[in-house]
Amino acid sequence: MNKKKSEDSDSSQVYTTGSKSDEQKLIESAQNGNKSAFGKLIRLHQKRLFRFVYGLLNSFDMTEDIVQETFVKAFQKIQTFKTGYAFYPWIATIARNLSFNLIQREEKKESLDKLTEVGFDPSSTDISALDKLLDDENRKRLYKAILALPVKYRTVFTLRHFEKMDYAEIASYLKIPPGTVDSRLHRARQMLLDAVKDLL
Q: Hey, what CATH topology would domain 17-109 get?
A: Rna Polymerase Sigma Factor; Chain: A (1.10.1740)
Residue 117's pLDDT band, with cuts at 50, 70 and 90, is: very low
Domain ranges within the chain, ordered by starting residue: 17-109, 112-200
Q: Residues 5-14: what's their mean pLDDT?
A: 42
Same fold across 17-109 and 112-200: no
pLDDT at 200: 61
Could you confirm whether domain 112-200 is CATH 1.10.10.10?
yes
Residue of higher predicted confidence among 125 and 51: 51
d(CA 112, CA 152): 16
Q: Bigger pLDDT: 48 or 139? A: 48
* Distance of alpha carbon 61 from alpha carbon 63, whole angstroms: 5
Q: Which of 168, 196, 193 has its CA nearest to residue 182? A: 168
The model's confidence at residue 114, banded by pLDDT at 50, 70 and 90, is very low
Cβ count near 50 (within 10 Å): 17
- With CA atoms as reference, report the closest residue to 93 among 165, 181, 150, 12: 12
User: What distances in angstroms separate CA 119 from CA 52, 69, 73, 74, 186, one per listed residue?
Assistant: 25, 33, 38, 39, 20
**In this structure, what is the dihedral angle of CA atoms 152, 154, 156, 161, given to the nearest 10 degrees?**
180
pLDDT band at 20 (very low <50, low <70, confident <90, very high): low
Whether the per-residue pLDDT at 125 is higher than 80: the answer is no
Question: pTM score, two decimals?
Answer: 0.57
**What are the C-alpha distances in Å from 140 to residues 34, 41, 55, 115?**
40, 30, 11, 13
Straight-line distance from the first to the last Cα atom of the chain, in angstroms, rounded to the nearest whole number: 43
Please state the rounded mean pLDDT for residues 64-71. Answer: 93
Over residues 42-65, mean pLDDT? 87
165 or 118: whose pLDDT is higher? 165
